[in-house]
Structure 1
Amino acid sequence: MQNQTLPGRLPVKMLSVAIGLALAPVAAFADTPTTLDKIEVTGSRIRAADAETRQPVLVVTRADITRQGFTSIADILQNLSSAGSPPAARSDALASGESVGGYYVDIRNLGASRTLVLLNGRRLGATTSGRQDLGQVPMSAVQRIEVLKDGASAIYGSDAIAAVVNIITDNTFDGAELNASLGQFSQGDGRNQQLSLRVGTQGDRGGMSAALDYSKEDPVWAKDRWFSRHGDAGPDYPGSGWSGVGRNGSHCNPCANGEDIKAADARWWTLKDGGDPANPTDYRPTDARDRVNANEQMMLQTGIERRSLFATAWYDLTDNVRLEGEALYNQRITDQQVAGYPLSYDVPANSPFNPHGVDTEIVRRLWEVPRTTRSDLQTFRVSGALKGAFQFGGRDFDWDIGGLYNRNNLSKTGHGDASKLALNRALSPDCGTAKDANCRPWNPFLPNGVGGPGALSDPDLQTFLFPYFTDTGTTSTTVYSANLAGALFDVPAGEVGIAVGYEHRREEGRFVPDAFKQSNESTGLAATTTEGGYALDEFYAELSVPILRDLPFARELTLSTAGRHSRYSNFGNTLNSKFGLTWRPLDELLVRGTVATGFRAPTISNLYGGAGSSFERYTDPCGVGATNSVNGNAACNAAGVPLGYVQLGQNGVPCTGYPCQTPDEFINQSNLGLKPETSTSRTVGAVWSPRWVDGLDISLDWYQYSVKDMIIADSVGRILRDCYVLGDAARCGGIVRAPDGHISGLTYGVANLGRMETQGYDLGIRYRLPELAIGQIKLDWQTSYVSQYDEEGNNAKGDKIMIGRVGQVGDSSVFRVRSTLGADWEKGDWGVRYGLRYYSAMKESCVPNRPCTHPDRFANGEPDAIRRVGSNTFHDVQVRWQAPWDATVSVGANNVFNHQGPIMFTSPGGAFPYYAGFDFGRTVYMKYQQRF
């Protein structure tokens, strides 16, 4: 980092870039122009010399951003070696709620809600689930991004458990700049385009700048990729993942008079080719030809469109007081499509289309009308501050008073789920008669593609059965703050620095599902309203005490400490602290260490979320087809599961692939009694810049995190394992089984039952070679090694393991090693950047009827068969040219060799058998930047 004075006639002591928090003090105003040797960095509110190396902070510069082919801030951060699995991946086609379409980051695999995101030092607004969308900020406005890979709740409050990401905008830009880019996958799809304009002007007493961005990414369809077009098991198992609820429709007969439709003697029938749907003899037994590959209608990657405007301004009211302000508007439109709904419905005996004259159950995928969702999220954000400086007792102090308001308005429009009210009318004998003239009759026995009275291909019938559903949501964040920082007194080793401050924050949120969902009168998933809020007041203090300086093997020895007291309106008080030690035995070697406590407050959806339903994919351990089946043990027998039971999937057909999707809705809900998560983080590291190798910097850090009282969303698989495998009867209470043994109902929620520990190492090597005849070469190699990642949980009594996922290193997303290498060459007007992204081998739990490399493996005292796959490496290349008319032209490719990851049968992070964090193909692109 370098120092400079701001443009203008006022003498200012200020940083060249706004690395420090916007809530931290602005540089002091003095009598003569001065530059400082003290800087502000993310992780501390006290300015200090060489502060950028005192904590494990990774800096991503504007040059790093422009010289890569990624389209968002989140894409850049997702490719950090310390990043975990992508939260809310765009390949999770079945995702719903507020988070869809957002760009989030997860550091250390601790979850996106445990990484705090700041914009110029102030919190971004969050969804009711606590996720902060990085895509709100126009990329053209970003000057740099700092990632503090350490706990920092003592400095920033809740959510700063794993890391803090601080996005710094260029508020001193002077001039104009136009950027345009165009790219797509080499398969010819997934086209992305971006256009941005940045303008700014700076004067003696004030300045302003603005950035306007537009971006659009087209969807990618599952049928257009080798790993997703064949169903959920990949190309080597065609048809094995297909749905038993076909587009042609099947009905059960005999199924009348309350007979169990899943009974062994029940038969399912489908209309013969050319058959008369009114003739009971024109139906044949349903067979494999009636199954359907739902992926033919599903998006692999959602389409997304963004419009962003960011503006900032500053004005010097006096020689010692500055007024600053920021405003942001962002609109995010996301389009999703999944296959037509797999309907299971009773056709009444008196329906004119019922050929049997008795109540008959029919199952039919509504193939003619795929389910679509358009999410429109608009963000409005304003912030401002008065900042200044004064002297007291001959010492300089900085102060600021500021405020922030952030509001997200969400509207989700869905289509493709049928109204149950309309279905009942369409199947009644009065539909279309004088008694119900506005009704459109439906014949569910007609297969897809077959015309005739009541065919679902009729546009009028589709309009009648499929209304548009609208969900709405609003979240808001309001912050008021005051901060003061300076030097208290001198000690032999230097100044004792201090920062103190106060912050008031209020979070409010509301998400209202459509009335049809709330009343369960549509074929979509039922849901109720989420609504709530809380307020908090926080006080913090930070102290930096130099102990030794300029002594042999103690060029510097500094102790830092910070504490933050938070009082929440809903759960009470919490106090968090942080201690740091910096030791510089030699000028070129710095040793650093921190110990910090942290917390994460329950989110609005954790506390006040409405109940929701879902059709879950799971493996029933009581089924004989399951890997490590316990069919016949005491717990399964007590639940009434018969010997030889095979888990039933959609349409009540026995599962042949696992996990298998339930034919019944399960209920998940919030928990008003949640308390905050607590954490402890530790880091020890060293930064070495050998004096005999100019331009070389090497850093090595060890980290350890321990999180207790984790708020975990219970899962169906976890509950079934606890109940039937581990024999914990307390976990069986919410499971409802039908007489034939299949699970017909399950209720679960969130609780403070989790705990986890992880540790590992980060190695960073940056080398700027001396300029040679062949040009300037820069190398940046970042590697993360995870030595431990264990997650466990207790039941409500705290005396039995609930999760038992010890030894998760190597699981999809918890890679043992992730490494990135960036090599940049520049000579004259030309430059080339080469990037490498390495992921070590993965493992996954074995599923029945699929390859299993270690079928006899045991872990934690129980069978734990796993499948291992090898490592993966992706290569990126960009070539750039500085044009004589002050422009830059770049062309490049991400995953230039079109590397394909392995099939992952457990579909980690998405809805398809592929790790969601890997590239879906080769992306080629071109960028143009024009400066004025």
Structure 2
Amino acid sequence: MIPTFLRSSCALAVMLAVTPNVYAEQELERIEVTGTHIKRTDMEGASPMSVLTAEDIAKTGAQDISQLLSKLPESGSGTFSTQGNNADDTANGGAAVSLRGLGADSTLVLLNGRRIAVSSFAKSIDTAFVDINSIPISAVKRIDIVKDGASATYGSDAIAGVINIILKKDFEGFEVNGKLAETVEDGGGQQAASMLFGTKSDDGKSHTTVIVDYFKERETLFADRDYSKSADQSANGGSDFRSSSGNPGSYIPATVGSDGSITPKSDQYSWTPDVNCPADLTKGPYCRYDYAPLMTSVPETTRVGLSVFQDYQFNDDLKFFAELMYQHNDSVIKGAASPSFGEFYMLADNPLFASGAAVNPFPGEDLTMRRRITETGQRQKSAESNSARMVLGLNGMLAEWEWELAYTYSYNRNHEYGEQGFVWSPRLQEAINTGTFNPLATTQNPGVIDQITVNTVRNGKSTTQAFDGKIVGDLFDMPAGSVGMAVGFEHRKEELSDTPDELFKRGEIFGTEATEAAGSRDQTSVFVEFAVPVLESLEAQLAARYENYSDFGNTTNPKVALRYTPLDNLTLRASWGKAFRAPSLVQLGLGATQESPGLVDTTRCPLTGLEEDCTAQERTVIFSGNPNLQPEESTSYNLGGVWAITDDLSVGVDYWNYDQEGLITSDTQYLLDNQGNNPDVVKREPSSTAVPGRIIEIYDQFANLGSQNTDGVDFDIKYQLQTQGMGDFNFSYHLTWVNTFDQVRADGTKRELAGEYQHPEYRWTTGADWSIADWRTSARLNYIGEYMGDVDAGATKKIDAFTTLDMNVSYIGLEKWTLTLGANNILNADPSFSETSFMGYDQATHSAIGALWYGKVGYRF
């Protein structure tokens, strides 16, 4: 049921809309500002907001939107780009941003003020996100970043804030751009091109904009960097992360049931490496395998897109508008050959033993093995993403009230093809049983390899259909001005499917990460917003939004914000609001999915002291969704202001605070720590002693676990300096300081994350721009502060701060031409060392691209 105050507001708005307005028109033109439905006379509102114009974006030298947004100081843990994906990921080719480190699924991404379908492949199994790689940077007019909770205005997912990407719908003229970039290290390199065309009809009633873009990036392997070319990081002060599944392999006696179940005889024996395992690969009970040099750091990527924007003015009171966009992305991701961790066996009477072609290391015993199937080649996936979006709408005036109605259809279709290195488990076991595949040998019959190798297919589709409308105008006059009001609605239907092939669903493919999920929901919302001029110097924003979801119920979220200007050059602001995030369709409808995180067996470790129990090792986790999830809820507030000390110097300070309840997550290590002896949670090998058997599988699912709270300060300085004869200078400094970031589990135990792994306390950028005559130069220094390594994985040291310098220079002295030369990370700084990462650095926080030099040519008329 819709709350009474919202029903009353809607009725009042409709009544006023059809009544002639007798109030005078505003002298200043009002503009659309992200974070409010009511047009304003300036961009500075009651909520803290950053604005990146097309000129600002060009100065950063960013190659795409993911690279641009990942450098924002307010971005945090959960931000990822295509650089962060690999063969074991479940969202290869995608990218997303996480404001305040609250997660990519807690940052609402809009395109021209409306929603986009989420990626049909979730990131790392659980995170629903809008793939910002589906938006070409060449088409961007500006990006508005609202840095407080905004569910009262936009609904779900706006817990941390809103990123509204506004495109060049009103472009005039013709522009062609070409760009070439090369790294100074091995691998990498990019090519990009775009064409923009915009024109008005002769009668001025219609306008058309067409944008075509192209982007290509060559792959970078971990082998292309000295610090990541081996998973054995012991020489650098880290650990040996080489896999325990090698070729030759390691073996242990086992009991094989009639149903093919395998139980290692761990009480009587230990794993034994193959006698032919090279000495440099033999460590402890295993024959190791160095997978790092074969894995993708930055995937080979190609993107092609077309955008068309059209509007037609029927008369002064009615306009039609349309947005049509299509983006096609391809990526190729490489990984090491498929590993087995005890999934296969050799019976004691295997014909290979009988014929003497193989020697049983444990005579008379059945065997299981850890073995890398290198004979099938390294794994390779091809990821294809197609995104399309259509918006059709009408905008007009009814008396002095502006109204708008629109229909949006958006989809993301993903296809992932396992092209090489994937093994069909039943056929491999059959080949072992018949003696045609010899696990104790390193060479095999090519015909047998063809029989056990299979190509995999995974298909996903995500769609969002929405019908929305609003009406905006002045309600009545107060002494300080008119009270503005906006009231509207949205009806949205979301559907998602993520379907791997039948072999994966039957559990017959090993060595791959994939998910299976399906779900749909309907959502209906109504909202109301008021802009109230309390005093000539004090303005209040009052907003509320009611949402009804078909899968979990209702929620109402209010917001109050104040903007106070006691002096012409001083603006103070404060905001408070409620926000929420509906559980994603993946979190609700994820099927049983296998993952292999690094976990410590804290049940066995105190009893055995063994490395395999006391250090993070890959464990098989069977993970699933939870249809009983409830939404996350958040309360946020902001206090700050902007002081224009002079016409050329301004300082901004904002304190922000987020308190999030009902966090939808999982904590498998915590589950293992507390329920390690629960057979319903942890399946173990049989044991005849007081020491529990080794872990076989762990069963986990999403839940509303605990809460998290974070607060901090944003600090901004801008200074302009105009000189006589030496050109004009612009200086800027933007700092985000995270004071606290605490996660509280359901039992009340707390983890303090500020300054811990992937949560640096300080991030800042500083810029200097200089223009003189026909020359334009820009420099950006990007800083990520130090933070502690991953203590859960055994880290004892901090990860050092990471600083990069970006620079470019442009010449505009040629008519219609712009020439640019620049470099990102011009000093080729290596990412800071991480002792618990196999590649030697924290890939989720730092970049290994190194120095990237680029040249750009633009022509416009």
With structure 1 as the length reference, what TM-score do the two structures score?
Answer: 0.82
Alignment CA distance shift 1:671-1:106 (3 Å): same
Which of 691, 697, 701 aligns to 2:650? It is 697
The alignment status of 1:644 with 2:608, answered yes or no, reads: yes
On the 8 A contact 2:216/2:301 being kept in 1, the answer is yes
Relative contact order, higher structure (CA 8 A, sep 6+): 2
Alignment CA distance shift 1:911-1:331 (3 Å): farther
The alignment status of 1:492 with 2:479, answered yes or no, reads: yes
On the 8 A contact 2:326/2:387 being kept in 1, the answer is yes
2:313 corresponds to which residue? 316
Alignment CA distance shift 1:288-1:675 (3 Å): closer
The CA deviation at 1:478 is 0.3
2:336 corresponds to which residue? 339
Q: How does 1:464-613 map to 2 (within 5 A)?
A: 464-525=451-512, 529-549=516-536, 556-613=537-594
1:617 corresponds to which residue? 598
The alignment status of 1:366 with 2:318, answered yes or no, reads: no
Distance in 1, Cα, partners of 2:735 & 2:129: 26
1:417 corresponds to which residue? 422
Aligned partner of residue 815 in structure 1, secondary structure: coil
Aligned partner of residue 443 in structure 1, secondary structure: coil
1:74 corresponds to which residue? 66
Alignment CA distance shift 1:308-1:86 (3 Å): farther
On the 8 A contact 2:248/2:277 being kept in 1, the answer is no
The CA deviation at 1:189 is 1.4
1:744 corresponds to which residue? 696
1:6 corresponds to which residue? none
1:18 corresponds to which residue? none
Which of 732, 736, 748 aligns to 1:801? It is 748
1:205 corresponds to which residue? 205
Alignment CA distance shift 1:269-1:743 (3 Å): closer
Q: What is the aligned residue count?
A: 810
Distance in 2, Cα, partners of 1:167 & 1:220: 29
The CA deviation at 1:745 is 1.8
Alignment CA distance shift 1:227-1:409 (3 Å): same
Gaps of 5+ in 2: 1-16, 121-126
Range moving further from structure 2, 484-493 or 894-903: 894-903
Q: How does 1:24-35 map to 2 (within 5 A)?
A: none
On the 8 A contact 2:231/2:240 being kept in 1, the answer is yes
The CA deviation at 1:531 is 1.2
Aligned partner of residue 448 in structure 2, secondary structure: helix
Which of 905, 913, 916 aligns to 2:835? It is 905
Distance in 2, Cα, partners of 1:330 & 1:241: 38
The CA deviation at 1:877 is 1.1
On the 8 A contact 2:757/2:790 being kept in 1, the answer is no
Distance in 1, Cα, partners of 2:669 & 2:715: 37
Aligned partner of residue 117 in structure 2, secondary structure: coil
Aligned partner of residue 702 in structure 2, secondary structure: strand
**How big is each residue's C-alpha offset from its partner over 1:683-737, in whole Å with a ceiling of 9 and x where there is no partner?**
11111112xx22222211111000001111x23222233447xxxx9x8851233
**How big is each residue's C-alpha offset from its partner over 1:810-838, in whole Å with a ceiling of 9 and x where there is no partner?**
12332211110111111111121110011
The CA deviation at 1:442 is 2.4
1:926 corresponds to which residue? 855
The CA deviation at 1:529 is 3.4
1:185 alignment partner AA: T
Gaps of 5+ in 1: 1-24, 275-283, 432-440, 550-555, 625-630, 632-642, 649-653, 795-799, 853-866
**How big is each residue's C-alpha offset from its partner over 1:845-891, in whole Å with a ceiling of 9 and x where there is no partner?**
4478x773xxxxxxxxxxxxxx3243222111112112414211111
2:92 corresponds to which residue? 100
Distance in 1, Cα, partners of 2:48 & 2:539: 16
Q: How does 1:665-744 map to 2 (within 5 A)?
A: 665-690=620-645, 693-712=646-665, 714-723=666-675, 733-738=680-685, 739=687, 741-744=693-696
Distance in 2, Cα, partners of 1:871 & 1:888: 36
Q: How does 1:818-829 map to 2 (within 5 A)?
A: 818-829=763-774
Alignment CA distance shift 1:234-1:330 (3 Å): farther
Alignment CA distance shift 1:826-1:741 (3 Å): same
2:124 corresponds to which residue? none
Which of 719, 724, 735 aligns to 1:767? It is 719
Aligned partner of residue 706 in structure 2, secondary structure: strand
Aligned partner of residue 67 in structure 1, secondary structure: helix
Aligned partner of residue 498 in structure 1, secondary structure: strand
On the 8 A contact 1:29/1:389 being kept in 2, the answer is no
Identity %: 29
The CA deviation at 1:100 is 2.2
The CA deviation at 1:256 is 8.2
The CA deviation at 1:915 is 4.3
Distance in 2, Cα, partners of 1:380 & 1:350: 55
Alignment CA distance shift 1:722-1:350 (3 Å): closer
Distance in 2, Cα, partners of 1:29 & 1:134: 42
Distance in 2, Cα, partners of 1:670 & 1:29: 53
Distance in 1, Cα, partners of 2:282 & 2:141: 65
The CA deviation at 1:287 is 7.4
On the 8 A contact 2:85/2:91 being kept in 1, the answer is no
The CA deviation at 1:623 is 4.8
On the 8 A contact 1:531/1:604 being kept in 2, the answer is yes
Aligned partner of residue 671 in structure 2, secondary structure: helix
**How big is each residue's C-alpha offset from its partner over 1:304-331, in whole Å with a ceiling of 9 and x where there is no partner?**
2211111101111122111000001011
Range moving further from structure 2, 676-685 or 873-882: 873-882
With structure 2 as the length reference, what TM-score do the two structures score?
Answer: 0.89
The alignment status of 1:241 with 2:241, answered yes or no, reads: yes
1:157 corresponds to which residue? 155
Aligned partner of residue 705 in structure 2, secondary structure: strand
Distance in 2, Cα, partners of 1:530 & 1:733: 23
Distance in 2, Cα, partners of 1:206 & 1:520: 56
On the 8 A contact 1:232/1:912 being kept in 2, the answer is no
Which of 360, 369, 375 aligns to 2:383? It is 375
Distance in 2, Cα, partners of 1:442 & 1:733: 36
The CA deviation at 1:93 is 4.8
The CA deviation at 1:747 is 0.4
On the 8 A contact 2:229/2:839 being kept in 1, the answer is no
Which of 362, 387, 390 aligns to 2:395? It is 387
Distance in 1, Cα, partners of 2:113 & 2:642: 25
Q: CA RMSD in A?
A: 2.8
Distance in 2, Cα, partners of 1:573 & 1:479: 18
Q: How does 1:91-490 map to 2 (within 5 A)?
A: 91-94=83-86, 99-128=91-120, 129-203=127-201, 204-231=204-231, 233=233, 235-237=235-237, 240-252=240-252, 260-263=264-267, 265-266=269-270, 268=272, 270=274, 272=276, 290-343=287-340, 344=342, 345-348=344-347, 349-352=349-352, 353-356=357-360, 359-368=366-375, 369-391=377-399, 396-414=400-418, 415-429=420-434, 441-447=436-442, 450=443, 454-455=444-445, 458=446, 460-490=447-477
